[in-house]
């Protein structure tokens, strides 16, 4: 039980920090969108689509490889590892830093050299050129930081990742705000460069923090390595990282093509270039970050499942794998179905109060029902990676992207933005379904749709039908003066009513509550 407690305390720490960072990120996103406008957000999103492929090349699967290799080598319960294990971990880190430096520099050189070609011919907008070159400078730092992040996750000292992320976010918000204040009035080119440049400097700061923490960690926990344990770990690391990297290259390249095709398809529908960028910016630069904001709660737990599942898989703990997977389904679906219902219920208020956009509100209302699939898919992918099924996940993602590209090319010229919303529905459903079916097959878990799906659905429908009329008539919110306060009050009230319905319907049982209490009270017991 002690290791379970440690897992949950780490996850709670990450969740709290993730919620804080996501809150800052969404708030900052609102500020940026106000500074650069919908068209600027569209161009920024396209820039980050292209740089996303460069980031994939820079990282090249190193983080997952380091997580798996360190989690499999280090005994979970030991505070100080012995000489043999120390030597193995040192070898893993030497290999990962060499690997990540090579690919980080390679990605930086390629992006910087091809920036003009990409801006003119891929993005169709020369205003993106300075931003692409600025981002190239940050790629080696991002790559090496990925290796260090993998180490801290693998050894279950996630608080050190948290420190680096907090430092990065603080620098990013502060510096980008200063740059935007001085550069945004000069036009979209300078505004985008300000955002990308602030992010690039924050990545450098993040690496500096991670490096210092790694050096301290190594001095505290590592002992002298045995000579017999000084063999290179580069080949084993490459054998894990590079197959994943190849798959992520394909996935990222296809995703980039899909996103570049969206403004093209909208223009074929008859929308002007600036209007196409604006629509794309509202959807991907404003709506999706908002829909994914609550997922910070689940993503922290899901990310820590990779080393947990890797260790369970390596030691053949099938029953534990099945148990953790069942809990993951239960928690993910109860949470995400509630979030989806709240977004649907308050879509108009969220879109107009936060972004001042009725178009954003419409996108939120239509896409919110996809939230359970999106959130669950992320957790399922984490478990599959921990169980060594990362290549299957990549195949599913590639299939998803190919389907998306085909549908974008066919539907958008005839249906416009409505066609793209249909593309999102089909692709998310396809991706999540294939991943879920594979996980059920690998773990042998029997699904419990009544408890995991139908009861939460009934609860969220009941909660919103009961709560919405009270909000509309101002019965409970008359003391809240402004629209934002009313929105927050309405969401909190709806969430509480949903939780009451969940408990009444038995989707969360006494056994579940007792299990959670047992985790928090556990001290020296072990599983």
Q: What is the pLDDT of residue 482?
A: 59
| Longest Cα separation, the chain | 75
Would you say 82 and 266 are in contact if contact means Cβ atoms under 8 Å apart? no
* Nearest by Cα to 102 from 154, 147, 140, 53: 140
Host H or E run for residue 271: none
SS3 state of residue 398: helix
Q: What is the pLDDT of residue 431?
A: 92
Q: 221 vs 230, 320, 439, CA distance in Å?
A: 17, 28, 35
- Give the up-direction half-sphere exposure of residue 184: CA atoms within 13 A in the CB hemisphere: 16
Low-confidence ranges of the chain (pLDDT < 70): 1-18, 72-85, 156, 158-159, 161, 220-232, 300, 302-304, 306-307, 471-483, 509-527
Q: What is the pLDDT of residue 110?
A: 95
Judged on CB neighbours under 10 Å (0-12, 13-18, 19+), 185 is exposed
- As a whole number of angstroms, the distance between CA 459 and CA 192 comes to 43
For the residues of 414-450, what is the DSSP string, one character each?
A: HHTHHHHHHHHHHHHHHHHHHHHHHHHHHH-PPP-HI
- As a whole number of angstroms, the distance between CA 252 and CA 249 comes to 5
């Amino acid at each position: 039980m002690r290791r379970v407690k440690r897992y949950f305390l780490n996850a709670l720490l990450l969740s709290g920090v993730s919620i804080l960072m996501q809150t800052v990120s969404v708030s900052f996103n609102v500020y940026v969108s106000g500074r650069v406008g919908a068209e600027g957000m569209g161009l920024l999103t396209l820039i980050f689509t292209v740089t996303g492929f460069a980031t994939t090349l820079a990282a090249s699967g190193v983080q997952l490889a380091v997580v798996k290799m360190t989690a499999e080598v280090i005994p979970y319960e030991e505070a100080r590892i012995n000489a043999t294990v120390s030597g193995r971990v040192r070898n893993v880190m030497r290999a990962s830093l060499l690997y990540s430096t090579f690919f980080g520099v390679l990605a930086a050189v390629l992006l910087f050299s091809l920036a003009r070609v990409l801006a003119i011919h891929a993005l169709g907008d020369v205003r993106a050129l300075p931003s692409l070159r600025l981002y190239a400078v940050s790629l080696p730092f991002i790559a090496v930081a990925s290796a260090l992040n993998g180490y801290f996750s693998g050894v279950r000292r996630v608080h050190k990742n948290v420190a680096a992320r907090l430092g990065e976010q603080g620098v990013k918000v502060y510096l980008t705000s200063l740059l935007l204040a001085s550069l945004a009035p000069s036009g979209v080119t300078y505004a985008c460069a300000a955002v990308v440049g602030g992010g690039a400097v924050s990545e450098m700061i993040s690496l500096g923090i991670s490096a210092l923490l790694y050096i301290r960690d190594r001095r505290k926990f590592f002992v002298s390595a045995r000579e017999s344990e000084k063999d290179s770990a580069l080949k084993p690391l490459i054998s894990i990282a590079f197959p994943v990297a190849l798959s992520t290259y394909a996935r990222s390249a296809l995703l980039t093509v899909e996103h570049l095709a969206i403004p093209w398809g909208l223009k074929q529908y008859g929308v002007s270039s600036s209007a196409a960028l604006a629509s794309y910016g509202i959807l991907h630069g404003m709506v999706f970050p908002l829909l994914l904001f609550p997922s910070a709660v689940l993503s922290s737990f899901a990310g820590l499942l990779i080393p947990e599942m890797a260790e369970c898989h390596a030691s053949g703990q099938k029953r534990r794998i099945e148990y953790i997977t069942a809990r993951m389904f239960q928690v993910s679906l109860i949470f995400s179905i509630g979030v989806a219902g709240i977004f649907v219920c308050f879509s108009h208020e969220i879109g107009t109060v936060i972004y001042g956009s009725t178009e954003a509100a419409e996108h939120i209302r239509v896409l919110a029902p996809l939230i359970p699939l999106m959130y669950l898919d992320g957790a399922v992918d984490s478990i599959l990676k921990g169980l060594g099924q990362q290549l299957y996940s990549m195949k599913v993602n590639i299939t998803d992207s190919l389907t998306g590209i085909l549908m974008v090319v066919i539907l958008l010229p005839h249906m416009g933005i409505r066609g793209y919303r249909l593309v999102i529905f089909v692709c998310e459903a396809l991706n999540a379904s294939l991943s879920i079916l594979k996980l059920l097959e690998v773990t042998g878990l029997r699904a419990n749709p009544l408890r995991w799906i139908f009861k939460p659905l009934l609860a969220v429908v009941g909660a919103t039908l009961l709560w919405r009329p009270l909000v509309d008539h101002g019965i409970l919110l008359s003391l809240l003066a402004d629209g934002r306060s009313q929105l927050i009050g309405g969401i909190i009230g709806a969430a509480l009513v949903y939780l009451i319905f969940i408990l009444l319907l038995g989707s969360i049982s006494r056994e579940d509550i007792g299990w959670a209490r047992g985790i928090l009270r556990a001290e020296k017991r072990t599983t």
